[in-house]
Every structure is written in C-alpha cells, then in structure tokens.
Amino acid sequence: MGNIVIFGETGAGKSSVINLMAGRQVATTSPDSHRCTMHWTEYTVTFDNKTQYQVFDTVGLEEPLIQPQEYLSAITNAYGLINVLKERGGINLLLFCIRGGRVTATMQSNYRLFFEFLCEEKVPLALVVTNLEREIRMEDWYTRNEIHLEKHNIRSLGHACITAATTLDGRHKDKYEESRKIVRSVVQDYCSASMDGWSGGEGWFTSLISKFIAFVTGRPKKTDVIGILTKRCGIDKKVAQEVAHKIRAETQS
C-alpha cells in the first residue's frame, strides 16, 4: 500500500480528485471552513485492480505569506503528519493539485512548502490540473502553461490534466471518465509501494521550521516556538530552545 500526500489551495479540487481516483465518494467536497495549515484527513482509495493507497488530503497555504499563529499551527501539524506517515512506511508520492488558470505565487509557495521544505525534494511529485472540462483537449492546458510553471520553478515527474467535476453531461461527462484513467495512470506510474517511502531524516524538523520562516509575516516569539515544540510536539526542552534560538537568529539576519 502506497502513501500519497495530496496538497494545494482550497478550491483546487483535492477532495474531488480523491473521489475521482476512488470511483466513489470517499472524501467530503465542501470547502474548508477555517484555515489550518498542514492539517490533514486520511482516506483509503482502492483501484479496480485492488491496489490500495492511503491518501492524505492536506490544507496548505491560501496566500504566499501567513500569520505567526498559522506558522505555529503548521509546525505542529507537519510534525504530526510525518510521524503518522513514518509509522505507515513514509511518503511514496506527492500530488500537487492546482486549478486550471494562471500560475500564481501561492501555487509556488505551496510547491516549496511541501516538496522542497517538507519532503526535501526526496519524494516523487506529480501535478494534477483540474477544472479543464472546457478545454477541447485537456492536455492543451499543460502545453500552453509548461513555460509558466518552469518560470515559477514548479517541476514534476508527471502530470494529469483532468476534470473532477461530477455535475457534467454529454461530452463533458466523457471527460470525467477519461480523467479517472489519466490520474490513476499517473499514480500507478509514480507511486511505488515496493520502495521505502521518505519519512524525514536527522535534522529534518529543525531544517523545516527554519526554512518556513520565509512564509511568515512578522516574527514568531521565541517563547511561543518553544511552547509549541515542547508541549504539542513533545520535543526535549533543550533541543526546543536551540531550535528557537536558530529561528530567532535567522529572522534577525
């Protein structure tokens, strides 16, 4: 069983993509009622060939910068997510879900947060582009936008240009069925359950929260960071103090 983390902005269609993959409704498609960076919900998805995947639907960034309190929540949630995944064998695949349209700075920030910072560029990443039912050929979106993705330094091993909308009829409905085949094919090509998943290494957590400072508006208090690390994450107080000191030094440089 492979572990997949799907991420992207609210409204990108992450839950709909999970249901598309599953062939039935397993994920709630209502919009998030609150922002809780890096929070996740877990689903089991089974393909027609009986292959199972654990899909972790996450809440990422809604804009390039966040408030200090959201930064502290993200620290807690990222630590919890990686610990859960570590018990399950690590992360085998990242699915970056974006809505068809122009490439934005928020897309780039989410890409950096999950691929570069959370997974240290050590996990296969595939791009899933949704809301393309009005394209004559859904793949045309990628042809037009590949250069814009590269300009924003968004790179992927593979991609799926799809529609995940369920209220379609006629030829649009045919595109929905086509989309299921496309996204399942991408998952099967790049999610290898036979290989050990990435689960974070020595110094990973300190590195993550230090890099994450780039997304924060203002400066998180040293005492708040120590409290989060010790009370919510269970990290030794001395280690927490060292991490907080490093963060403080980087925000002042």
Write out the chain's pLDDT in tens, 253 residues: 899 999 998 889 999 999 999 999 998 765 554 567 888 999 999 999 899 999 999 988 888 888 877 888 888 889 889 989 999 999 999 999 999 988 898 999 999 999 999 999 999 999 999 999 989 999 999 999 999 999 999 999 999 999 998 776 666 778 999 999 999 999 999 997 667 889 987 778 878 887 888 888 877 777 887 887 888 777 788 877 877 777 766 666 5
Q: Please state which of the four CATH numbers 3.40.50.300, 3.30.70.920, 1.20.1740.10, 3.40.50.150 is assigned to the domain occupying 2-190.
A: 3.40.50.300
In this prediction, residue 30 carries a pLDDT of: 56
Residue that has been written with the tokens 């300190």 in this structure: 206
Per-residue pLDDT at 230? 86
Give the phi and the psi of residue 44 in degrees, each rounded to 5.
-100, 125
Torsion-angle region of 246 (φ positive above 0: left; ψ -120 to 50: alpha; else: beta)? alpha
pLDDT at 35: 65
Domain spans of the chain, in order of start: 2-190, 204-252
Contacts with 60 (C-beta within 8 Å, 6 or more apart), sequence order: 7, 8, 9, 37, 38, 110, 113, 114
Containing H/E element for 125?
Answer: strand 125-130
pLDDT in the model for residue 218: 75
Whole-angstrom distance, CA of residue 154 vs CA of residue 147? 10
Q: Is 37 exposed, middle or buried (0-12, 13-18, 19+ CB in 10 A)?
A: buried
Task: Please state at what angle helix 204-211 crosses helix 68-88, rounded to 10 degrees.
Answer: 150
At what angle are helices 237-252 and 204-211 packed, to 10 degrees? 30
